[in-house]
Chains A and B, each alone.
Chain A
């Protein structure tokens, strides 16, 4: 009896469950079918974008009709993505004096209410995925990864911006002035004209530098190395003199430090091994991986790293710590690291918590990193492959965005030179001082005025790098832009970062289908190739490199190169260089 009852009960539960399951499916289908259907305006706008200019004309009239003096009659509400960097002692990225400035300005100028949505900086792609899948992504999204946007776009998850940027042009003077055709249309598909993202502008395209401890060079009576051989000799000198340089901590000495991301953290070395006369075609075909894994000199560059690793000139454990881990930075701050390669201004970032400021506190006034330019290529120059004005952050609107005009106005507002300047330097006496020369000097702020990202780049999404109201002022202030850091050291790093710099060119031959859905897999594999090759024994280096590389290529790397070559030939014919 009892058993029977339980059976009935369970069966009943099963029925209820199926009903519920079905019910749930129905109910969940309602809002989703709703979204495209119910806001028919949004769909219409969407279609207008897709269909191109024909429908665009009608749309334009409607758009300008909505605005009186650049303002909406009724208050609109938009959401904007902002990175949460989780800084120690930082301010709330969605609510601080800078967000207030933006919110107030947008409400006054355009009658648009702005709400910020924070997304963790180091897991942004995953987080935005989840938000998009849930239909709750911010109206304005920012990411560094174009393949990610392309993947969403192919699923129909991204608005085509080509219609909006054209139709609303008259309402977007600042945006067009600042980004120009280059950045606005950088990602425009040459075949069907779709535009899934707008490229934010790099105001400073310095990319990467190698740094060395100035006081160690002085202590050993060495000059800054200018060739790869001299650099190697310097590393060996650091290792041999570790007792002098570090005393009791001698066995913590790390002459040259990289992280698991070898392709980035030894980029100046790797780039120096690329043939300086490389053709545009070859560079593009091998250009999918931004860590230059398949470029023509990379293997030999890594062979050199492998030699250094086996000589004990590098950090044993670099591969064991993942993205965002601070162990390596802490070792730099504690003074155990002799040289490293990183973002051109890395040791200057974060004011009082910068690597240089920490070193000076922990080790002594003379202890700090300076930029050097040690890696010569086969022609004896120091070629560095830097970005163009584009190729940095990309802005896109998810399909759930039903306020495209308000969002475009936001981008315009945030590109206004005065607004950029205020967000970058804040209030006088609080976040900056004006020097006698007129230069703006950044000072360490506290409380609500703390900028979570240097120069508030997380808010100035169309602008990365210092850009003040006039060019002279920007130039003058660049070196004073790092609180607690000697301006001369910054200027010198700036000069080196621009020495023999080759800006990226835009090769737009249409969508490379092999690149969809594969970015993360390949970049993980890329890191594995680099890491395993660096730590292999010198005898095994070739076999490790070749077998790992084969895995990379067979997992999609080769397919991308083949398709890139094919599409290049289709567009540029036999020419190996861009027109």
Chain B
């Protein structure tokens, strides 16, 4: 269907376009598959965004549902009046900012360190080991964390107690929980995240390093003046993408880690939406929350992109 429509306006175009299309049609045909994917799984579902403005009913078609009160904004008003939502919003922002501040530089630093290693085999082994956690699901990571950090029965706490210390409530005290959550997040992601930077570093012209050596630059000088500027565009692009996600949150990680004792700091928008919307049957309310989250995400993305272009970088489009 997409294909039929796409080729239509082209027919009236000039000959060059036609021959161009004739020559490369296979490529466009291939392109149509991912486009179809986006269409079916990303755009068509957007029809249901209107649930946010309507009084949801399981038996009515989405077009037939009556408009919610206050010109359809009933559920937005309700969400912002709701303590749990405001708490989830705060937690989402706080946890994501911490993730950004601590988690974002970690792969860069790791890539820089790896790049300085001259023993190739050692480097490869370290790299592979660091990638591993990325392939574990959060449920498994949480089980590991529970075995390690649980008070009383966790290995780490047992070790601390053996050494005469007192057990640390890694998972059941708010402040400690945030630390554990962020720390485990960094651990899971820094190896995988460094791949992009390593690739960028590999693309830097080696003559630059040679010239710097001749000028008497040491390791840190070279890192500072050549490697970092060399991967700056990559850093900026990834930063923009991360900023766009500041209100987004993946579901598995907070859901696996939260427990009743730390809900005050652990409940984020995605888990709030799951609990209230899917389990609590308030579909309109949570669609409103999800829509708000997405809109803010897009705004952040646009702002960050604009800023980076202002600062002379390329941005992502």
Contacts and interface: CB of A to CB of B under 8 A. Distances in A.
Interface of A: 1, 5, 8-9, 11-13, 15-17, 19-21, 24-25, 28-29, 32-33, 35-36, 125-126, 129, 132-133, 135, 148, 151-152, 155-157, 260, 316-317, 319-320, 322, 399, 517-521, 524, 527-528, 531-532, 535, 551, 554-555
Contacts of B83: 551, 554-555
B130 to A, nearest CB: 28
B117 interface: no
Interface string B21-60: 1000000100100010001000110110000000011111
A15 B8 CA distance: 11
A528 B56 CA distance: 29
Contacts of B281: 129, 148, 151-152, 517, 520
Contact of A29 (B56, B61, B260): B61
Contacts of A21: 43-44, 46-47
Contact of A317 (B44, B59, B150): B150
B253 to A, nearest CB: 16
B251 to A, nearest CB: 14
A133 B51 CA distance: 13
Contact of B47 (A19, A24, A129, A152): A24
Nearest to A2: B20
A139 to B, nearest CB: 15
Given A12-B7, A20-B39, A317 B152 contact: yes
Interface stretch (B272-280, B297-305, B306-314): B272-280
Contacts of B2: 12-13, 16-17, 20
B42 to A, nearest CB: 10
Given A12-B5, A260-B259, A1 B44 contact: no
B62 interface: yes
Contacts of A319: 172, 259-261
A528 B172 contact: no
Given A13-B39, A125-B279, A519-B280, A5 B7 contact: no
B11 to A, nearest CB: 11
B268 to A, nearest CB: 15
Contact of B9 (A11, A29, A518, A528): A11
A18 to B, nearest CB: 9
Given A9-B6, A316-B152, A156 B61 contact: no
A35 B28 CA distance: 41
Contacts of A17: 2, 39, 43-44
A517 B84 contact: no
B55 to A, nearest CB: 9
Q: Give the 6 A-B CB pairs with smallest separation, nearest first.
A: A12-B6, A16-B5, A316-B152, A531-B260, A520-B280, A32-B61
A92 B249 CA distance: 37
Given A5-B21, A16-B2, A126-B279, A531 B63 contact: no
Nearest to B57: A155
Given A520-B280, A555-B83, A320 B5 contact: no
A157 B59 CA distance: 6
Contacts of A521: 84, 275-276, 280
Of B61, B64, B150, B275, chain A has the most CB atoms within 10 Å of the CB of: B61
B197 to A, nearest CB: 30
B171 interface: yes
B1 interface: yes
B38 to A, nearest CB: 9
Given A33-B61, A319-B261, A8 B10 contact: yes
A16 to B, nearest CB: 4
A156 B57 contact: yes
Contacts of B282: 517
Nearest to B258: A322
B151 interface: yes
B40 to A, nearest CB: 8
A157 B57 CA distance: 8
Which among B6, B9, B39, B151 has the greatest number of chain A C-beta atoms within 10 A? B6
Q: Is chain A's interface secondary structure helix, strand, loop, or mixed overall?
A: helix
B58 A132 contact: yes
Contacts of A36: 59
B263 interface: yes
Given A13-B5, A19-B1, 8 more contacts: A5-B20, A16-B4, A32-B64, A260-B259, A317-B150, A320-B172, A517-B280, A521-B84
Nearest to A30: B61
Interface of B: 1-2, 4-10, 13, 16-17, 20-21, 28, 31, 35, 39, 43-44, 46-47, 56-64, 83-84, 146, 150-153, 171-172, 259-261, 263, 275-276, 278-282
Nearest to A19: B5
B263 A25 contact: no
A316 B151 contact: yes
Contact of A535 (B84, B152, B261, B279): B261
A283 to B, nearest CB: 26
A535 B172 contact: yes
A512 B63 CA distance: 30
Given A20-B39, A320-B259, A399-B59, A520 B275 contact: yes
A152 B20 CA distance: 57
Contacts of A12: 2, 5-10
Contacts of A132: 58
Most chain B CB inside 10 Å of its own CB: which residue of A12, A32, A157: A12
Contacts of B146: 320
Contacts of A11: 9
Nearest to B154: A317
B47 A25 contact: yes
Contacts of B56: 155
A572 B6 CA distance: 70
B270 to A, nearest CB: 15
8 contacts: A12-B7, A16-B2, A17-B44, A135-B59, A155-B56, A317-B152, A520-B275, A524-B275
Contact of A156 (B31, B59, B150): B59
Given A12-B7, A126-B278, A25 B261 contact: no
B163 to A, nearest CB: 16
B171 A320 contact: yes
Given A21-B47, A320-B146, A551-B83, A29 B59 contact: no
Nearest to B28: A9
A5 B17 contact: yes
B52 to A, nearest CB: 16
Nearest to A36: B59
A316 B260 CA distance: 14
A555 B84 contact: yes
B145 to A, nearest CB: 10
Contacts of B13: 8
Contacts of B47: 21, 24-25
A32 B65 CA distance: 12
Contacts of A320: 146, 150, 171-172, 259, 261
A319 B151 CA distance: 11
B230 to A, nearest CB: 29
B60 A32 contact: yes
A317 B261 CA distance: 10
B229 to A, nearest CB: 30
B44 A20 contact: yes
Contacts of B150: 316-317, 320
Contacts of B63: 25, 29
Contacts of A29: 61, 63-64
A16 B6 contact: yes
A567 B8 CA distance: 66
A368 B182 CA distance: 44
Given A20-B44, A29-B63, A15 B5 contact: yes
Nearest to B285: A517
Contact of A157 (B31, B58, B172, B278): B58
A521 B281 CA distance: 10
A384 B44 CA distance: 54
B59 A531 contact: no
